[in-house]
């Protein structure tokens, strides 16, 4: 089965004609088979959820299929849904320049179940998997160098998780005594406060000193019920 994506004839425009969303979805099911968990369409873009065990075979098929040619891995990122049993989405953004096509591939996992690395399919995945591990704590089996890439090597926790404290666990400073950067428990100069400012268009709902004059003046100017103006 092939997609109705055709190259332009000589003398026509130079960009490819993209297949319909429905046609791409049917082709994805044919190419990926049992690895497909769900295919969704949103604002003209297609996303496919695949099983963890079928991930490597799925991205290989998407890269090698002549009708798709999704041969560029643009990004890998995580999404955290703490209320779910499998709280993490691992999202892969694939691109085909030849077919003018983008595809979002997704797998779900939890804090303990690793996701297969796709470094063997897209070598640049190693950097993205390290970033996802660093920020979310998602494990990847087969990554040859799964270590932190954005935070410091001694960092505690994974900062993009929804339950990560806003203050962090430790703070660092340069110690003149030790002549190096040292880690210490977080010490806030004041209690953590959440400032919930009102919209400037709504104004405040509290009374400041002197406001009673304006309030009293407005009450005096307002005619009593039933009173006439003359």
The predicted-structure confidence for 153-197, as pLDDT tens digits, reads as follows 778 899 999 999 888 888 888 889 999 988 888 877 666 666 556
What's this model's pTM, rounded to 2 decimal places? 0.72
Who wins on pLDDT, 2 or 206?
A: 206
Say if CB 5 and CB 16 are below 8 A apart: yes
Task: Report pLDDT for 8.
Answer: 45
Strand partners, 50: 36
Q: What is the pLDDT of residues 78-121, one digit of tens each?
A: 999 999 999 999 999 999 999 889 999 999 999 999 999 999 99
Closest C-alpha to 181, from 147, 158, 152, 148: 152
Residue 7 has pLDDT above 50, yes or no: no
The most confident of the ranges 7-16, 70-79, 200-209 is: 70-79
Q: CA 29 to CA 39: how far, in whole Å?
A: 9
CA distances from 170 to 152, 188, 230 (A): 12, 11, 74
Residue 182 has phi, psi (to 5 degrees) of -120, 155
Q: What is the pLDDT of residues 41-60, one digit of tens each?
A: 988 889 999 999 999 999 99
Q: CA 195 to CA 197: how far, in whole Å?
A: 6
Q: CA 136 to CA 131: how far, in whole Å?
A: 8
Give the CATH fold of the 21-219 domain: Beta Polymerase; domain 2 (3.30.460)
Say if CB 43 and CB 57 are below 8 A apart: no
> Strand 72-80 relative to strand 88-96: parallel, antiparallel, unpaired?
antiparallel
């Amino acid at each position: 089965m092939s997609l109705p994506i055709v190259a332009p004839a000589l003398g026509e425009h130079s960009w490819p004609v993209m297949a319909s969303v429905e046609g791409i979805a049917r082709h994805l099911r044919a190419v990926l088979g049992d690895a497909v968990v769900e295919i969704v369409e949103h604002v003209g873009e297609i996303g496919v959820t695949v099983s963890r065990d079928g991930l490597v075979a799925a991205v290989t098929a998407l890269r090698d299929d002549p009708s798709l040619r999704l041969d560029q891995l643009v990004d890998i990122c995580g999404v955290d849904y703490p209320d779910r049993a499998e709280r993490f989405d691992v999202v892969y953004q694939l691109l085909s320049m030849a077919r003018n096509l983008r595809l979002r591939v997704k797998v779900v996992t939890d804090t303990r179940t690793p996701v297969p690395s796709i470094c063997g399919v897209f070598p640049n995945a190693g950097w993205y998997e390290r970033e996802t591990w660093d920020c979310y704590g998602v494990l990847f089996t087969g990554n040859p160098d799964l270590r932190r890439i954005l935070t410091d090597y001694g960092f505690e926790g994974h900062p993009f998780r929804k339950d990560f404290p806003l203050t962090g666990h430790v703070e660092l400073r340069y110690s003149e005594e030790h002549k190096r950067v040292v880690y210490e428990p977080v010490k806030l100069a004041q209690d953590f406060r959440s400032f919930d400012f009102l919209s400037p268009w709504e104004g405040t709902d509290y009374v400041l000193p002197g406001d009673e004059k304006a309030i009293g003046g407005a009450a005096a100017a307002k005619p009593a019920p039933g009173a006439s103006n003359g």
